[in-house]
Amino acid sequence: MQPAKTKPEGQTITVAHSPDSDDAFMFYALATHKLDTGQIQFEHVLQDIQTLNEDATRGKYDVTAISFHAYAYVADTYTLLPHGASIGEGYGPILVSRTPATPADIPDLKIAVPGTLTSAFLALRIFAPNFKYEVVPFDQIISAVENGSCDAGLLIHEGQLFYESRGLHKVLDMGEWWHERTGLPLPMGGNAIRRDLDPTVVHQVSDYLRDSINYSLSHREDALQYAMQFARDMDPELADRFVAMWVNERTLDYGEQGREAVRRLLADGFAAGVIPHAVEVEFAE
């Protein structure tokens, strides 16, 4: 067993998350030094979720945003923090198409997906084990559907809110389907922390992350204004809707239902043969 890796006083903790308005909102207080974090300094690294998932397999960062699907492959290195989850309450990633299609058509469609380690991809594979897909950067998926390089696209970000204005058609809302199937919300991603950090540091980092989320929820206008710079030209109303979908009371604490949703998603992924091994989901306490 490796000895615990203790951060000396004053050394930074690397925190990696996506350059998206919801993550920016969540980390606003930490990124802009609104909180007194004592001797712990935070270094923020911005990467798209597919890159973060891949980096997590190498244990690159102390704290990282991660898709729950990807967690299945790094659970020996990371444990989940009890705060910072993005969980859809009856909504989730949306599969859209250029021409009208139904869920029964999915096996015949070539689908643009945002990454094979995303929870959206896992949920779609649970729904339809066999379909053709191409990995496309999440912010280029709508274009891939529009230009015909793919028949359909799996939207995980703000495209969920404006795809209709681009003339695309909803095939399946994964969150609606998941709730009908399980009665649970659909968990997309969370924040994980390296297991080999000193337990005291883990506890402190967890508290600071919770405080940052709480600060943003309590100072919503300021936090949203900060997050707008990461909103990819969204208007403020749309950005506010998007942030509200993915940063809420469930983000402060999963609750038992949220934790059960993560366990169920990974268990169903294993049962469907998408994940090759059973996963024990653990949360840092």
Please name the helix (run of DSSP H) or strand (run of DSSP E) that holds residue 86, with its range, or none.
Answer: strand 86-88
CA-CA distances (angstroms) from residue 127 to 17, 38, 163, 182, 274?
28, 47, 22, 13, 11
Q: What confidence score (pLDDT) does residue 141 get? A: 95
User: What is the pLDDT at residue 256?
Assistant: 95
Domain range annotation of the chain: 12-86+186-271, 94-182
pLDDT score of 232: 66
How does pLDDT run along the chain (285 residues), one tens digit per residue?
444 555 445 678 999 998 888 899 999 999 999 999 999 999 999 998 889 999 999 999 999 999 999 999 999 999 999 999 999 999 999 999 999 999 999 999 999 999 999 999 999 999 999 999 999 998 899 999 999 999 999 999 888 888 998 999 999 999 999 999 999 999 999 999 999 999 999 999 999 999 999 999 999 999 999 988 876 667 788 888 889 999 988 899 999 999 999 999 999 999 999 999 999 999 998
| Residue in 17, 69, 83, 157 annotated catalytic | 157
Neighbouring residues of 65: CB distance < 8 A, sequence distance ≥ 6: 16, 17, 18, 23, 49, 52, 84, 189, 190, 191
Q: What is the pLDDT of residue 1?
A: 44
Question: Do 12-86+186-271 and 94-182 fold alike per CATH?
Answer: yes
What is the pTM assigned to this prediction? Answer: 0.92
Q: Given CA atoms 115, 119, 120, 122 in this order, what sign does their dihedral have?
A: positive
What pLDDT, on a 0 to 100 scale, did the predictor assign at position 239? Answer: 83
Give residue 7's pLDDT.
45
The per-residue pLDDT for 9 is 54
pLDDT score for 162: 87
For position 139, what pLDDT does the model report?
Answer: 86
CATH architecture of 94-182: 3-Layer(aba) Sandwich (3.40)
For domain 12-86+186-271, which architecture applies? Answer: 3-Layer(aba) Sandwich (3.40)
Three-state SS string across 192-254, please?
Answer: EEECCECHHHHHHHHHHHHHHHHHHHHCHHHHHHHHHHHCCCCCHHHHHHHHHHHCCHHHHCC
Q: Assess whether 157 carries a catalytic annotation.
A: yes
| pLDDT at site 95 | 98
**Which pLDDT belongs to residue 20?**
84
**Residue 8 pLDDT:** 45
